[in-house]
Amino acid sequence: MQITKDIQYVGVNDHQVDLFEGQYVVPNGMSYNSYVILDEKVAVMDTVDRNFKEQWLQNLENTLAGRKPDYLVVHHMEPDHSANIAAFLTAYPEATVVSSAKAFVMMQQFFGCDYASRRIVVGEGDTLSLGKHTLTFVTAPMVHWPEVIVSYDSCDKVLFSADGFGKFGALDTEEDWACEARRYYIGIVGKYGAQVQALLKKAAGLDIAIICPLHGPVLTENLGYYVNLYDIWSSYRPEEEGVLIAYTSVYGHTKEAVELLAAELEKNGCPKVTVTDLAREDMAEAVEDAFRYSKLVLATTTYNGDIFPFMKEFIHHLTERSYQNRTVAFVENGSWAPMAAKAMGKMLEGSKNLTLCRNNVKILSALNDESRNQIQALAKELA
């Protein structure tokens, strides 16, 4: 795939993977992106997952058409991008590796060699001239590893953004960008909003026409749309007005309460209501929706004097990713000693700028007139 006159795509699509990073369901696979800049000197931008070494090296050979690469630029050392550094340097013994100081420490850990005799260490503001193309390097620590750098090609106005602006899904499948980019961002990068904000501020000073991420499609149009979403996500602002009801239910009574609440919210004109069963639906999708919408209802049973395990896992995912700036309500169920609301509140104590609803719901085993009235009151407050 030709990106500009001098920049070619040499990455691969992975339809073998079922769980990315061992936890994220990826029904449409993944792409591992790598690029080549063909100038007076040739720079290869990152490698791919180890399972695609031969395909990637063949892609590279076909694109080089007899030329030899001068540089391998490593933006990020996560193995889905760096696994073939050693193979590349064996295939092209005259090439030099260009990366951050911390990346070379990781190369020693991964490959047993830090390539001291064939490396260029770069940091903030350093440049690499390829001819008419000059790469300027920008450090991006903890987006989402400490060694990360991004680079900007001033000739073609291309930002090589490492894992930034990436998404789940291979490039040979058609799907909405925002949904899988949001799930990717919240799940993998979401904890590091402050660091992403810092990188966005640096990027704001660049004239960017194309974004080349390490996962997902090359972005060439309406870049403001993508940057705006990253700004929203990394500043922990709600993307949409709406309510996510996340619940667990053992014998169906809490589920019945949730269904009643959803109906009442819609009756009260709530613009968007999404319901997710945490025990049965994809946890990463639920976490994504919690960050997407402005309001969250947590509904669960008291379990062993605490809360149901799937709810505990869900709240842990939220707090681990700095969940904040939302309205939260509790629905608890308990037959003899309801403790769920207290336990959920305690788990969220460290979260910033949460508005807790006044009209929480307490169910004693099954719905009755009192708890139905509480649900109606909560629906009105949320709407």
Distance CA 170, CA 125 (A): 32
Find out whether the peptide bond into 144 is cis, omega within 30 degrees of 0. yes
Residue range 134-169, pLDDT digits in tens: 999 999 999 999 999 999 999 999 999 999 999 999
Residue range 178-226, pLDDT digits in tens: 999 999 999 999 999 999 999 999 999 999 999 999 999 999 999 999 9
Q: What does the pLDDT average to over 51-66?
A: 97
Q: What does the pLDDT average to over 17-38?
A: 96
Backbone angles phi and psi of 127, in degrees to 5: -125, 160
Asked if 80 and 17 count as a contact pair (C-beta separation under 8 A), the reply is no
Token pair of 192 as six digits: 């590091």
Exposed/middle/buried for residue 2 (C-beta within 10 Å: 0-12, 13-18, 19+): exposed
Exposed/middle/buried for residue 207 (C-beta within 10 Å: 0-12, 13-18, 19+): exposed
pLDDT at 240: 96
pLDDT at 178: 95
Q: What is the mean pLDDT of the chain?
A: 96
For the chain, domain boundaries: 7-234, 240-382
Token pair of 5 as six digits: 């006159």
Alpha helices in 235-353 (DSSP H): 253-267, 283-292, 309-320, 340-347
pLDDT at 37: 98
| CATH T-level fold of 240-382 | Rossmann fold (3.40.50)
Distance CA 306, CA 223 (A): 46
Judged against a pLDDT cut of 90, whether residue 242 lies above it is answered with: yes
CATH 3.10.310.30 fits domain 7-234: no
Q: What does the pLDDT average to over 47-63?
A: 98
Alpha helices in the chain (DSSP H): 53-64, 79-82, 85-91, 101-111, 177-184, 193-203, 223-234, 253-267, 283-292, 309-320, 340-347, 369-382
Half-sphere CA count of 355, side-chain side, radius 13 A: 9
pLDDT at 329: 98
Pairing outcome for strands 134-139 and 293-303:
unpaired
Residue range 273-327, pLDDT digits in tens: 999 999 999 999 999 999 999 999 999 999 998 999 999 999 999 999 999 999 9
Provide the whole-model pTM. Answer: 0.93
Residue range 342-361, pLDDT digits in tens: 999 999 999 999 999 999 99
Asked if 39 and 131 count as a contact pair (C-beta separation under 8 A), the reply is yes
Distance CA 48, CA 83 (A): 6
Q: What does the pLDDT average to over 111-119?
A: 95
Residue range 360-371, pLDDT digits in tens: 999 999 999 999
Judged against a pLDDT cut of 90, whether residue 1 lies above it is answered with: no
